[in-house]
Amino acid sequence: MSHDRDLLETLAGQEAALTFKAFDETVAFAIGERLTRLARSGECPVVINIRTPDRVLFHAALPGSSPDNDHWARRKSNVTLRFHKSSMRVGENYRLKGREICAELGMDPLDYASHGGSFPVRVDGTGVVAAITVSGLASEDDHAMIVKVLEDYLGGD
């Protein structure tokens, strides 16, 4: 059980540490480009999506990805934009409680997926304004790809 709590703490720590001073279309494109380069270097068959609640700021479908990955990206980013937490953290939290996203909780599984791969864009003094999502790898790997790029990008700011 402590391993599970450690994972939740790690995820919460990543979200607290990986915040932006500002975020706009230019930043979204820079993050998207970095994710695309990383995915291409590993020949990862992923979809990369960065969006606000009502607007796509960046989208790329890499070789080997499928339309299903677009649907997964939409569902995972819906979780992040609703809870202002990474989709992996929300999913892990539900798993620890023996629950999962379902209609009884007001979330249709066709519209919400609490699997790793969507990360909140949190702006200092503002809060969550967007979601960065990767879909196509294992849940943990989708999440890790985003964290790696954000650590590199935000560490260089």
The better pLDDT of the pair 156, 89 is held by: 89
The better pLDDT of the pair 32, 157 is held by: 32
The pLDDT of residue 4: 75
Q: How confident is the model at residue 120 (pLDDT cuts 50, 70, 90)?
A: very high
- pLDDT tens digit sequence for 2-56: 567 899 999 999 999 999 999 999 999 999 999 999 999 999 999 999 999 999 9
For the chain, give the percent of residues with pLDDT over 90: 85
The pLDDT of residue 1: 41
DSSP string, 6-19: HHHHHHHHHHHHSE
Number of alpha carbons in the 13 Å side-chain half-sphere of residue 154: 21
Q: How many whole angstroms separate alpha carbon 26 and alpha carbon 6?
A: 35
Across residues 150-157, what is the average pLDDT? Answer: 86
Fold adopted by 2-155: Beta-Lactamase (3.30.450)
The pLDDT of residue 3: 65
How much is the mean pLDDT over the chain?
A: 94
Sheet holding 127-135, edge to edge: 19-20, 118-123, 127-135, 47-52, 55-61
Domain residue spans in the chain? 2-155
**Cα 50 to Cα 26, 94, 101, 130, distances in angstroms:** 12, 24, 22, 7
| SS3 at position 151 | helix
The pLDDT of residue 101: 85
Burial of 123 (0-12, 13-18, 19+ CB in 10 A): middle
Dig out the tokens for 143 from the structure. Answer: 């999440």
Report pTM.
Answer: 0.94
Helix (H) or strand (E) holding 61: strand 55-61
